[in-house]
Structure 1
């Protein structure tokens, strides 16, 4: 079995224009197990409403993630663990939604608040991502950049239906209008996808304050060249601020690396290695 190393870093910034930071970020990497996660929420809803919404959502999901590594989970098979991860993410997001609705009921001044959410969790080489809204997750490795989420937004629906090009979407007056959010209705449906990583990789989780200014090519350039990789979060924030910083900006980086165990290397030294076919970098897990 390969030796897997996970490391995370994150940063959120108010930007150049806003008076309040309505983004929230939480991240964690276990010191003794190959487990890590990043949570990014981008709140909305008037004075202090957006900040409250993103904070409640991020903290609620963080609490569920922190409770995951119990004895029952560790003792399960890999297949069972993957199912538990998916169920835990679903439960965490539903709990966050209920917490927001309860807060709104108790505090009328928060009646219009809501938030996007994107959560990325790594367990060994298994990556699972859940999102609602237009906060995003990207994966980069030696094969390039791949966007792992699809925005729940008006312009994305128009692009999908052929009514608008990607370039037009970037300039649209409704580019920040989302079609799904946390804390808006009693039922919420997160989009959840999972992959098995097969190469060393960097995972970027971010709010739209970053992608407003940096397109996929700019994001890939930073992830491919900025080292140490975890410090690229500061570069992303700085670049977005230099380009205008009209929104709050949040970025989290998870660095995944896998190396053969030392004893395995010793055994393989006398074996002629066959050339490895360039399979796809990541592949969807069976559901």
Structure 2
């Protein structure tokens, strides 16, 4: 079992004191030989990338994406432009390995960052692919990102129910990815900065094995992020561990200025 620890970062904003506490874990799972997932969990950017492609192509794609996004942390204030420039560089990195990558190589990129470029700081989620960002607020868990997948398109068109989607043969087919033939413009969602929020950012290796109810259960059982991600990983492996599993739990404490 991977070592998991909780990290904390505090920042003083004009509106008050913000303290973030988080933990991240990634695991190969029980049926895959290599881990094609990659993770970045460092203030102010929290990202999961799930690579796809034969041989080591998916591993190259996810690692390149995380490396390029990590380079943006050096004093920069996160913006969509910075994110997309990093993803464009990642696409070039992926294409620079023709011996291991092809048109089918790519990666999801999903996560959340703190935007302090406006008078009111807020969260922004970003998403390409079918990894997910969930938000737990007021005892309710909501999926914030929308999957870029064939199954999600069938659900949106009313041709498939969410229950039918769980075991659909096209369940692994995504419609957008970061790769040589894809656009690198994510979908963005803005969220208010609210005390007590908990984010879960994860690859589909978790959501294949754990329902939304199960995710919420482990959040309620474990107030410490490291304990929460460890419990979710244990459950995903116990339920089959059919894919690589990557999870970030990010907790928000925000005390407004008096």
Using structure 2 for the length normalisation, give the TM-score: 0.87
Distance 1:95 1:193, change over 3 A: farther
Q: Secondary structure at the match of 2:199?
A: strand
Alignment of structure 1 residues 168-179 onto 2, 5 Å: 168-179=164-175
Matched-pair contact (CA < 8 Å) for 1:230–1:255: no
Distance 1:155 1:163 in 2: 9
Distance 2:66 2:160 in 1: 33
Is 1:38 paired with 2:46?
A: yes
Distance 2:105 2:88 in 1: 16
Matched-pair contact (CA < 8 Å) for 1:141–1:199: no
Distance 1:98 1:52 in 2: 11
Distance 2:135 2:55 in 1: 34
| Aligned with 1:114 (options 106, 112, 116) | 106
Which residue number in structure 2 is paired with residue 99 of structure 1?
93
| Aligned with 1:203 (options 196, 199, 204) | 199
Q: Secondary structure at the match of 2:79?
A: helix
Which runs of 5 or more structure 1 residues have no equivalent in the other structure? 30-35, 74-83, 265-287
Alignment of structure 1 residues 182-261 onto 2, 5 Å: 182-185=178-181, 187-261=183-257
Which residue number in structure 1 is paired with residue 40 of structure 2?
26
**Higher radius of gyration, 1 or 2:** 1
Give 1:199 deviation, angstroms.
3.1
Is 1:7 paired with 2:21?
A: yes
Matched-pair contact (CA < 8 Å) for 2:132–2:147: yes
Which residue number in structure 1 is paired with residue 134 of structure 2?
138
Give 1:123 deviation, angstroms.
4.2
Matched-pair contact (CA < 8 Å) for 1:93–1:190: no
Give 1:257 deviation, angstroms.
0.6
Matched-pair contact (CA < 8 Å) for 1:6–1:257: yes
Distance 1:159 1:109 in 2: 34
The runs of at least 4 consecutive aligned structure 1 residues that moved more than 4 Å come to none
Which residue number in structure 2 is paired with residue 54 of structure 1?
62
Distance 1:147 1:184 in 2: 28
Matched-pair contact (CA < 8 Å) for 2:110–2:132: yes
Give 1:260 deviation, angstroms.
3.8
Matched-pair contact (CA < 8 Å) for 1:23–1:51: yes
Give 1:228 deviation, angstroms.
1.4
Distance 2:205 2:34 in 1: 13
Which residue number in structure 2 is paired with residue 147 of structure 1?
143
The number of equivalent residue pairs is 239
Is 1:86 paired with 2:80?
A: yes
Measured on the aligned residues, the alpha-carbon RMSD in Å equals 1.7
Distance 1:24 1:260, change over 3 A: same
